[in-house]
Amino acid sequence: MASGDSVHGMWSSRLMFILAAAGSAVGLGNIWRFPYLAGENGGGVFVVVYLLCIFLVGIPIMSGEILLGRSGRQSPISTMRDLTARSGAHPAWQLVGWMGALAGFMIISFYSVIAGWAISYIFQMGSGAFNGADAQYASSAFSAFTGDVVSVVGWHSLFMVLTIFIAARGVGRGLEVTVKYLMPALFFLLITLVVYSAVTSGHFMEGVAFMFSLNFDKFTWAGALSAMGQAFFTLSLGMGAIMAYGAYMPKSASILGTATTIALLDTSVALMSGLVIFPLVFANGLESSAGPGLMFITLPLAFGQMVGGQIFGVVFFVLVTFAAITSSISLLEPAVAWVVEKGGFSRAKGAILVGALAWFVGLGSAFSTNIWAGFTVLGGLTFFGLMDYVANNIMLPVGGVLIVLFAGWKLEQKTVDEQMAGDLRFLPVWRVLVRFVAPLAVSVIFVLTFV
């Protein structure tokens, strides 16, 4: 292993890092979460705020995470411990690594449950269960499925086993091989579905208008927080994943160029997902603000009413599953890397241990639609809702702010210059963004939401 390489292995090229990090970013956040949040928060105005958050906040924070990860070449927890000591910063900065790993762990616990739903719907669509179905049937089918604790836990378990298997094989044989094949397949499937939506729905331009017209009546500061939280969620920021993947990034690769490429790929997937979903919604006279059920009630209904819809419904849920897998392995990676470093475990045993714990915590989210459906906290949030809200709307933004503050103000200048050597002409702009713009934007939206 070359000097300065990660003990966990290295990506074979910059392209593989981009595919892996894009795979981490492209997931349920783009295909499941982005369309229904846009529907709930005024369409175009939500998209505008989301895009501003991506480019003014997301890219600076992502580049800061990559910088820290490549500097430390370890798990996020160990990286922040060593960089804090090296920079002479207060020991409390080490908590950034722990916060990221914890956020990623929380997210994978409920993420696996939703991904399990998607796997189930591959088979439900393939069986023809939704052919000619009406709205009542689609809604009842979803309620019956999520109300069946055995089915929900079973699919959650299957997805977690797949994630553990890939993570256990390490960077080269597991993570890299997976994204090498799944990411091109994901983009091919998504482009196919956009063309299908444009040709068959008859409402493609209505979907375009909804996504890009500004409806301020439905937008609030809470919507702005949701847009920012979505930017963090979809780019995998503040959850340790990008820092962990950055540890395996080749030293010669441009950090800013790579972060920008990943953000563009991720954003294009989110927008294309909207262009798949909303024309189908409008074509069937359905509700665009249907919430989390948009993908599991509205779309099966839409596909069930269309010629060839059974086939394309299967393709859609295969796409969702691919996207979920490429993200889930990155969510598990920070904790797995740390367990391997500090626990004396093999890679396989570390993946099994962390994955099993995440599966166990995920049972709370699996139960939230059935046996624990009546159990709520903090204003009516279920266990699943609480995990989602705390991780995405609080931990990720706070973690992201701390990352850029550390990268911009605390990290040794020598380390910054070394890591950003390929981006020196953009370094002054980057410093302004990470020191002032990104922290201020996150803080203002965060405060105004809770005032």
Domains and CATH numbers, the chain: 14-450 (1.10.4160)
pLDDT at 1: 39
β partners of residue 214: 43
The 8-class DSSP code of residue 214 comes to B
Picking from 378, 361, 408, 422, the residue whose alpha carbon sits closest to that of residue 93 is 408
Q: What are the backbone dihedrals phi and psi of residue 144, each rounded to the nearest 5 degrees, phi first?
A: -65, -40
Phi, psi of 377 (to 5 degrees): -140, 165
Q: Is 381 helix (H, G, I), strand (E, B) or coil?
A: strand
Structure-token pair, residue 48: 């505008």
- Side chain identity at residue 422, one-letter code: G
For residues 352, 31, 19, 196, the Cα torsion angle rounded to the nearest 10 degrees is 130
Phi, psi of 226 (to 5 degrees): -65, -40
- CA dist 436 and 404 (Å) reads 9
* Residues of the chain with confidence (pLDDT) below 50: 1-3
pLDDT digits (tens, 9 = 90+) for 223-276: 888 888 788 778 888 888 889 888 888 888 899 999 999 999 889 988 898 888
Q: CA torsion angle for 182, 264, 234, 281 (degrees, to 10)?
A: -80
How far is Cα 136 from Cα 159, in angstroms, rounded to an integer? Answer: 28
C-alpha pair distances (Å), 275 with each of 35, 198, 262: 9, 8, 20
Which pLDDT score, from 0 to 100, does residue 292 have? 64
Q: According to the model, what pLDDT value does residue 91 have?
A: 95
In angstroms, the CA 247 to CA 6 distance is 6
How far is C-alpha 327 from the geometric centre of its chain's CA atoms? 6
- Report the Cα–Cα distance between both ends of the chain, in Å, rounded: 52
| Whole-number Å distance between alpha carbons of 176 and 197 | 31
- Whole-number CA gyration radius for the chain: 21
Output helix, strand, coil percentages for the chain, rounded to the nearest 5.
80, 0, 20
Tens of pLDDT along 143-199?
999 999 999 999 999 999 999 999 998 877 778 888 888 888 888 888 888 888 888
Q: What angle do CA 441, 264, 216 make, to 5 degrees?
A: 50
Q: What is the DSSP string of 264-308?
A: HHHHHHHHHHHHHHHHHHHHTT--TT-GGGGTTTHHHHHHHTSTT
Instruction: Compute the distance between CA of residue 120 and CA of residue 314 in angstroms, rounded to an integer.
Output: 10
Q: Three-state SS across 129-192?
A: CCCCCCHHHHHHHHHHHHCCHHHHHHHHHHHHHHHHHHHHCHHHHHHHHHHHHHHHHHHHHHHH
Evaluate whether 175 touches 329 at the Cβ level (below 8 Å).
yes
**Tokens of residue 190, six digits:** 């998504």
- From the CB of residue 23, how many other CB atoms can be counted at a distance below 10 Å? 29
Q: What integer pLDDT is reported at residue 288 of this predicted model?
A: 67
